[in-house]
Amino acid sequence: MQKKLLGLAVAGALAAPGAALAQVEVYGFISVAVSNFKYSDGTAANTPSVSKWDVSSHGTNYGVRGRENIGGGLTAWFQIEQNAPMERSNNVAITPASRNSAVGFQGNWGNFFIGQWTTPWADLESLWSIGSVGGYSPSLSIIGRRETTGTSPNPNCINGHVSGAVGFTTTQPVCDPVEAGGGVGHAFWRRISQSIFYYSPVFAGAQVKLAYQTNDGKSTISSATSTVADPSMWSAAVQWSGMGGRARVGAAFDSHKDFSTIGETDTGFAIKGGYNFGIVDVGLAYESMTYKLAGGGDVDAEQYGIAIAIPIGQGAIRASYSEAKDMDRPTGALDDGAKEYTIGYDYRFSKRTTVGVGYAQIKNDPAAVFTWTGAPGNQSGTGLAPFPGSDPSAFFLSVIHRF
């Protein structure tokens, strides 16, 4: 990625002639697609199918970051990154530092930083998700995101849907009740805020990553609007690459205290990786999460997927299949699983610019609402999630530019 360096004077340096200027890198990722998008009929009455054209943005972001050698083998660094929706309809506000943003120190002992960042669990996505064209991907729609787009933390829980909505019952867990009304994501897949991170050096291709989200949401008062709780979380992962970079694998474990149920801890396990055979690159993913119910009992979620990339010239044919199983509840399944299929071709004009074409579809079960980030409004024209049981699909042309 071509870097654009700006010489910025630190405020103190303005009053100190001869002081060195800090070097700051401006960077970004633009992903936009034009698509013929369709929602099929939903499960409930008055949720008919609709087909529409859309220009959407998928994870577009920009930011600034910098590094400074402070001596003794130490480097101080910072990064401030925010979203850039690139569309006005149903637009999300651009919030400074809403994405990976932190300050830290790095040396031969590893990398320590504090702020807001993707979890070690989420970092494993890059190991397997080679079957994606543009933003229509199983990564962060089914795999890596059992909690679907746009809801914090889990639309399969009461706080993600209106109680009594089709397919959703009051027996579902209330995930992260203390933080549900704010913060920046507290599900397994998300970046976490108010957090401390440590990445080890790479030894023989292996690296350990640890993250702890502090108990910033701790409450000692019980009332109509608050509950005594002490929520916090751990995320840990180890990943390895070898054989000249052809083989890669990683495993993660998350532990979320007082998220679904006060006094209980949700847990999750994931393993993801792949192997490049030369003529084809293959990625595999598996993950399992357990949410704790009040009064006892578990809600278990399980997802898996496979992805392939077949290089052709400066591009590749890319395809994937992923599946979310029905969530296993003590009260019985709600038929809320889904399957996703994607296939397409992308062509890399340069290290910075890629164009792709493809087709993607999610087959939602009657109570499921899976979709992609940046999808257009549903049958109502305003809601960003499909109605339960409605299947989103898209023929698309995507453009990605990195700077």
Please write the tens of the pLDDT for every residue from 248-291. 999 999 998 887 777 888 899 999 999 999 999 999 999 998 88
Select, from the ranges 105-109, 223-227, 259-263, the one with the highest average predicted confidence (pLDDT): 105-109
pTM for the full model? Answer: 0.84
Alpha-carbon distances, residue 313 vs 99, 260, 279, 393 (angstroms): 34, 49, 12, 28
| Three-state secondary structure call for residue 286 | strand
Within 8 A by CB and 6+ apart from 15, the residues are none
3-state helix, strand, coil in the chain (%, to 5): 5, 50, 45
Q: pLDDT band at residue 168, thresholds of 50, 70 and 90? A: very low
pLDDT of residue 226: 65
* Predicted confidence (pLDDT) at residue 157 exceeds the cutoff of 50: no
Please write the tens of the pLDDT for every residue from 344-375. 999 999 999 999 999 999 999 998 888 887 88
| Three-state secondary structure call for residue 121 | helix
Give CATH superfamily name and number for 32-57+88-402.
Porin (2.40.160.10)
Separation CA 66–CA 74 (nearest Å): 14
Please write the tens of the pLDDT for every residue from 297-337. 788 889 999 999 999 999 999 999 999 998 887 877 778 88
Cα-based angle 370, 322, 144 (whole degrees, multiple of 5)? 65
Contact 27, 5 (CB under 8 A): no
Chain Cα centroid distance, residue 48:
30
* Predicted confidence (pLDDT) at residue 12 exceeds the cutoff of 50: no
pLDDT of residue 300: 86
Contact 300, 330 (CB under 8 A): no
Separation CA 197–CA 195 (nearest Å): 7
Mean pLDDT of the chain: 82
Please write the tens of the pLDDT for every residue from 194-218. 899 999 999 999 999 999 999 887 8
Please write the tens of the pLDDT for every residue from 29-82. 999 999 999 999 999 999 999 999 999 888 889 999 999 999 999 999 999 999
The fraction of the chain above a pLDDT of 70, given in percent, is 80
* Predicted confidence (pLDDT) at residue 296 exceeds the cutoff of 80: no
pLDDT of residue 227: 73
Give domain limits for the chain: 32-57+88-402
